[in-house]
Amino acid sequence: MQGNLAVAKSAVPAAKTWAVVKADAYGHGIEHVTRAFQAADGLSLIEFDRAARLRELGWQKPIMMMQGMYDVADIESLVRDDLQPVIHHVDQCRMLESTPVSRPLAVHLKINTGMNRLGFMPSQVSEIYQRLKSLSSVRSVSLMTHFANADSNGTRPDVAAQIDAFQRATAGLDAEISLSNSAATLFQPQIRSDWIRPGVMLYGGAPGVQSALSLGLQPAMTLKSRVIATQSLRAGDSVGYGSLFIADRSMRIGIVACGYADGYPRLASTGTPILIDGVRTRILGRVSMDMLNIDLSPLPTADVGSEVTLWGQGLPIDEVAAHAGTIGYELMCGVAPRVRREVRD
């Protein structure tokens, strides 16, 4: 993860970096990010309990709460743990106006420039900015937006349109700005931004169609298991629920101790790549709860105990995800608690 953070920082060297660690650091474990991202200027997430945990672990730099507070009770946590909320709705302004605090907060005003999820419409920005600046509970206001299509060309709204909307909305406002997510950091480094907000790229996932390796990114997570049984099929034999794979010849298969209860995608079908002892082969048939089936044809010496790489080092997570009709983000975040973790520097 440290190397991937270095890639992000080198792409936009003039900007500070919010390292996004929501969803338990994209499934990698919040316990590890204070060390892995010590070169970041701040951490950004959603969950208040994990933000508190970051403080317990010794993180002293800024922490941004990407969805801000959900109710007035959250303001106590913001003050206690010195957290910086994103303000994206007028109700959050009202919470700050009605709740006295012992320590003023740094806040981030989010602007909806076309993503149409969170944020104030451009016509509201000047009024909300002045409203926040006037509060004794607020010590600073920064400005931010989120790009919908920084990893694609021609899809609307494009980056240029969103930047234009942002600039018109913020004209005359004196504040730091944060614009670029992973895709914009990698593919639009010309964007001026005081802060960048890389997320999936920090964990070795590609935010667009290019491969992670071509972008200089390395996988932070490798999911491994072992072969626990082998079977010999004859032509016409099937394997697994639904008999979705039927052998067209005599062949040897392996059974791997990993399934959808571990976070491996059930929709991965015959042909999804997998590594056995470092050699690429394919899964066969339907993934079940605790097991999946693999073709041992390219590996005549593979047997019970052979090491299996389901994704990670040597096998990009995005490639596996594509075979399952999803994205690497989902696989990272979906690894089940029962999977044993090993942390390596």
* Per-residue confidence (pLDDT) for residue 316, from 0 to 100: 96
DSSP string, 268-282: --TT-EEEETTEEEE
* Per-residue confidence (pLDDT) for residue 144, from 0 to 100: 98
Amino acid at 224: K
Tokens of 34: 């204070």
User: Is 276 exposed, middle or buried (CB count within 10 Å of its CB: 0-12, 13-18, 19+)?
Assistant: buried
Tokens of 96: 């700050």
Tokens of 38: 């010590």
Q: What angle do CA 283, 287, 290 make, to 5 degrees?
A: 115
* Per-residue confidence (pLDDT) for residue 345, from 0 to 100: 61
Residues making up the chain, counted from first to last: 345
Q: What does pTM read for this prediction?
A: 0.94
Q: What angle do CA 323, 199, 65 make, to 5 degrees?
A: 130
CATH for 2-206 is 3.20.20.10
- The pLDDT profile of the chain, 345 residues, written as one tens digit per residue, is 999 999 999 999 999 999 999 999 999 999 999 999 999 999 999 999 999 999 999 999 999 999 999 999 999 999 999 999 999 999 999 999 999 999 999 999 999 999 999 999 999 999 999 999 999 999 999 999 999 999 887 788 999 999 999 999 999 999 999 999 999 999 999 999 999 999 999 999 999 888 999 999 999 999 999 999 999 999 999 999 999 999 999 999 999 999 999 999 999 999 999 999 999 999 999 999 999 999 999 999 999 999 999 999 999 999 999 999 999 999 999 999 999 998 876
* Per-residue confidence (pLDDT) for residue 335, from 0 to 100: 97
pLDDT digits (tens, 9 = 90+) for 161-214: 999 999 999 999 999 999 999 999 999 999 999 999 999 999 999 998 889 999
Instruction: Tell me if 262 sits within 8 A of 335, measured CB to CB.
Output: yes
Q: What angle do CA 222, 278, 264 make, to 5 degrees?
A: 40
Helix (H) or strand (E) holding 143: strand 138-144
**Longest Cα–Cα distance in the chain:** 77
Looking at the chain, which residues constitute the CATH 3.20.20.10 domain(s)?
A: 2-206
- Residues with catalytic function: 22, 241
The residue ranges of DSSP E strands in 181-270, in sequence order, are: 195-196, 223-233, 238-239, 245-246, 251-256
Alpha helix positions (H), 188-325? 317-323
Kindly indicate whether the domain formed by 223-333 is annotated with CATH number 3.40.50.2300.
no
Looking at the chain, which residues constitute the CATH 2.40.37.10 domain(s)?
A: 223-333
Amino acid at 131: R
